[in-house]
Amino acid sequence: MPLSLPNPLPSLPPSFPIYWRDDVHYEHARIGRVFNHRRPDRYPIAVVEAKREEHIVEAVKLAKTLNCRVSVRSGGHSWAAWSVRDDAVLIDLGKFFELSYDSETNVAKVSPSTTGRMLNTLLGHHGRFFPGGHCPDVGIGGFALQGGMGWNCKNWGWACERVLGVDVVTADGELVHCDKSQNTDLYFAARGAGPGFPGIVTRFYLQTLPVYSCMRSAAYFYSKEDYRKAVSWIIKLAGDYDPDTEIVAVSSYPPGCDELRVMVLLVTFKNSEDDARKALQVAEDCQPPGKVDGWFMKPTSLRCEYDDQAAANPEGHRYCADNAYVSNDADVVSVMEQAFTTLPTRKSFALWYAMAPCSRRPLPDMALSMQSDHYLALYTIWEQKHDDAKNRAWVKDTMRGVEQHSVGAYLGDSDFQSRQTRFWGQEQGKRLMQVRKERDPQGRICGFLDEGDKSGVEGLPNEHHWLL
């Protein structure tokens, strides 16, 4: 039953941009920035297009007046459209921009809707870089809150480890700063809580890296029949590979190719041609025979990589994603075989992302705490609504064969309505849920969107659903 609105509506500042359900612009405000065109039938009570920090504060206070929840959208890229919630005030941060860089501290200050491409375009002028999301238009907000599996995560670590602090509007509408010395509970949660963060981040303080002047890549394409040979090779090679080289295996239909291919791709970040060649030569010298295509020492750049990622994740399409951290003691090649060899559409792809050695070291004191050496993700992509059931069924069936060989999953490629598993370590998960209860006992901030949106203040059980 839709939440009834007070009459008259609460008075708002003249500059406060808000769209109620009966507004002509409401529908666009509700889902216009949702990337996944498999859009939800959920209806916020109103949408606030925040342009200033005070708009966010006032929107939270409005929700308190209406006795309803608050949801947040930064980039709009969550596959399950977590921001669109029934009978909540949706605060859309797409028009709230802040982006600056301090050359003395090498720290960037960014608003949540800032994308990786926007951030690195600015930082590039200062000879700096931030390992944000691979897709160019993913907002820093959702990306960093869920941990941030960014560029070369296997070696450089999680992006959220470079979050030095955050400014937050709490569930009570108070603006606070959080870092390792103040509001430490919120700082803990801001690095890995994902959509369950009990507040609204308005600003991230990010530690940047020196830019790399020589990026090169090597790729090795194999037929579907050679899947086991190609993936076994790269899994064995990846763990102790060069520390500035990202490694991924992808199953897809390359442009212009009618057959599924398994690609092993290495991208190295160096400052000289010689160093790049030395890093990539190791794979070049031991590649399995039988590749059907490929390249070596191909010049690339962040701009080129962003363009490739945008092409692989086209706008205006319908998506269903899922993922797992495959257990280190599993037969990883066999566990992933169905995902890699039975793609349901020509635009879909599956990937294995090498996570070692980062996955083998102790993590800082933060909510993000789930990882293994092997990250498997499925990205099912199609165009027509009538194909929804078929493609979602493929994801569900494929993950049924994977999940019991996994230790958990990454928030960023998950849909809690479809499947629940472990997203944090045992103690970190308990601590996160306690922080949520203490900071937002009324459940003002919409948390994890599980089936029926019922989790509320309790949050997620952080257990494999097949064991419950």
CATH assignment of 18-92, given 3.40.190.290, 3.40.309.10, 3.30.43.10, 1.10.3210.10? 3.30.43.10
Please determine, for residue 212, whether its predicted confidence score (pLDDT) is greater than 50: yes
CA distance 147 to 363: 12
Task: Mean pLDDT check: name the lowest of 246-255, 271-280, 457-466.
Answer: 457-466
Share of the chain above pLDDT 90, in %: 95
- Round the average pLDDT of the chain to a whole number and report it: 95
Q: How confident is the model at residue 1 (pLDDT cuts 50, 70, 90)?
A: very low
What is the pLDDT averaged over residues 80-101?
A: 97
**Contacts (Cβ under 8 Å, ≥6 apart) of 192:** 145, 146, 147, 160, 366, 367, 368, 369, 411, 424, 428, 432
Q: How far apart are CA 176 and CA 155, in angstroms?
A: 32
What would the pLDDT profile of 106-165 be if each residue is shown by its tens digit? 999 999 999 999 999 999 999 999 999 999 999 999 999 999 999 999 999 999 999 999
**99-210: CATH topology:** 3.30.465
DSSP3 helix / strand / coil % (the chain, rounded to 5)? 35, 25, 45
Cβ 377 vs Cβ 323: under 8 Å? yes
- Quick: pLDDT tens for 408-466: 999 999 999 999 999 999 999 999 999 999 999 999 999 999 999 999 999 999 999 88
Query: Taking 50 as the threshold, does the pLDDT of residue 339 lie above it?
Result: yes
* Confidence check: pLDDT of 23 > 80: yes
Query: What is the structure's pLDDT at 443?
Result: 97
Residue 34 has pLDDT above 80, yes or no: yes
Instruction: Select the more confidently predicted residue: 468 or 271.
Output: 271
The pLDDT tens digits of the residues spanning 233-242 come to 999 999 999 9
pLDDT mean over 7-15: 56
Q: What's the mean pLDDT in 320-348?
A: 98
Asked if residue 362 has a cis previous peptide bond (ω within 30° of 0), the answer is no
| pLDDT at residue 467, rounded to an integer | 74
Contact status, residue 76 vs residue 94, Cβ threshold 8 Å: yes
Query: 237: closest CA among 296, 278, 286?
Result: 286
69, 87 contact by CB (below 8 A): yes
| pLDDT number for residue 15 | 63
> For the residues 211-230, what does the mean pLDDT come to?
98
- What is the pLDDT, as a whole number, of residue 14? 47
Question: What integer is the mean pLDDT of 298-316?
Answer: 96
Residue boundaries of the structural domains of the chain:
18-92, 99-210, 214-413
Residue whose pair of structure tokens reads 């041609």 in the numeric block: 273
Reading across the β-sheet that carries 88-92, which strands appear in turn? 18-20, 46-49, 88-92, 69-73
Which phi and psi (to 5°) does residue 284 adopt? -60, -35
pLDDT at 378 over 70: yes
Q: Cα–chain-centroid distance for residue 120?
A: 17
Name the pLDDT band for 16 (thresholds 50, 70, 90). confident
CA distance 269 to 321: 28
What is the DSSP secondary structure assignment for residue 25, as one 8-state letter?
T
Average pLDDT of span 325-344: 98
What pTM did the predictor assign?
Answer: 0.95
Question: Would you state the structure tokens that stand for residue 362, as one six-digit string?
Answer: 């102790």
The model's confidence at residue 10, banded by pLDDT at 50, 70 and 90, is: low
449-459 b/e with 16+ CB inside 10 Å = b? Answer: bbeebebeeeb
Tokens of 367: 């909510």
**The CATH number, out of the four listed (3.40.462.20, 3.10.50.40, 3.40.50.620, 3.40.50.1370), of the domain defined by the range 214-413:** 3.40.462.20
